[in-house]
Amino acid sequence: MSRLDWKLLLRCSAVGFFCAVASSAQVKITKQQDRIAVEIGGKPFGDFVYGSGTPKPYFAPLRSASGAIVTRKYPMEEVAGESRDHRHHRGLWIGYKDVNGFNFWENEFSYHNPKAGTLVVRKVDEARGGKKEGSIRATIAWVDPRGKTLLTENRTMTFHDDPKLRIIDVESVLKADAESTFGDDKDGTFAVRIADSMTEKHGGTIVNSDGGHGMKECWGKKANWVDYTGEIGGEKVGIAMFDNPDSFRHPVRWHVRDYGLFAANPFGAHAYDPSAAVSSVALKPGQTVTLHYRVVIHPPMDAATIDRMYRDWAK
């Protein structure tokens, strides 16, 4: 083989290798009938599920970079030995228990709750992949039991490629279509239900940005971030949730439980702390609130490392 042939072969091999690396590094987003599938680095990450079969859209499952599923599978799947409480805890979701007295949190159709509202995806505005990140944008109506739209939510979920982390940024802009009041309740707002084996009840650890440890020191407390770390099949993995300084009522209060509920709630106050004034957030038609959070699924990290990651993002 001539020197020229060798050069061509090497060049083609290099291009092929580069293309393989580039394709594996991409965030791929595929729109399907009632869901949008997300792949990162050539691996499945999870699905954004919506449509008439669910009372609110959710994203599930969440996976680590290694592929470990870090969210509870129930009620999407029934797995022997897995907990089956709180059927309305589906993967990663947004909802709230009290908007004009209607329940957008405990709103499973099977509950037959006459006060339950629904979150209806009116339109998927964007489902776009990319080399370093991809995004899903959706317009979501918060509809009361009588069919009246109280709020229109514009939600953007941005998925980032990283070899060791799985990162989701979620921005939710809630605009009032009618006068809408968020009452003071503990059940809300931006939430994830983590896998049973990761929970504090099964040896997991909860820490926050102010040095709090465990549910007793972190539940209902304000903090820039909270991290929940445990084990999946012997692998140590954590889920950190960050509250952006521009998000409504930063720093947010955290509804984080030893059994696996993990949520940021900017609307509740007295429900967590009896010494706090009763919260009531009233929006007139056209008024908005903006929620902005980040989820980081990570290998073992100490609090100082998580805090540096938070501060880099918060800038």
Give the pLDDT confidence of 257-290 residue by residue, as tens digits: 999 999 999 999 999 999 999 999 999 999 999 9
Could you tell me the two tokens for 282? Answer: 């009233």
Query: Region 96-116: what's the mean pLDDT?
Result: 98
pLDDT of residue 5: 45
37-92: pLDDT as tens digits: 999 999 999 999 998 999 999 999 999 999 999 999 999 999 999 999 999 999 99
Residue 66 — left, alpha, or beta (φ > 0 → left; ψ -120 to 50 → alpha)? alpha
φ, ψ at 230 (rounded to 5°): -160, -155
φ, ψ at 196 (rounded to 5°): -55, -45
Gap between the Cα atoms of 1 and 21, Å rounded: 28
Say how many C-beta atoms besides its own lie within 10 A of residue 33's C-beta: 5
Residue from 169, 295, 186 nearest 238 by CA = 295
Domains of the chain (ranges plus CATH)? 33-314 (2.70.98)
Say how many C-beta atoms besides its own lie within 10 A of residue 15's C-beta: 10
**Confidence class for position 137, pLDDT limits 50, 70, 90:** very high
Q: What angle do CA 300, 252, 275 make, to 5 degrees?
A: 120
Exposed, middle or buried: residue 52 (CB in 10 Å: 0-12, 13-18, 19+)?
exposed
Query: Region 136-157: what's the mean pLDDT?
Result: 98
What percentage of residues in the chain have a pLDDT greater than 70? 92
Residue from 177, 189, 203 nearest 256 by CA = 189
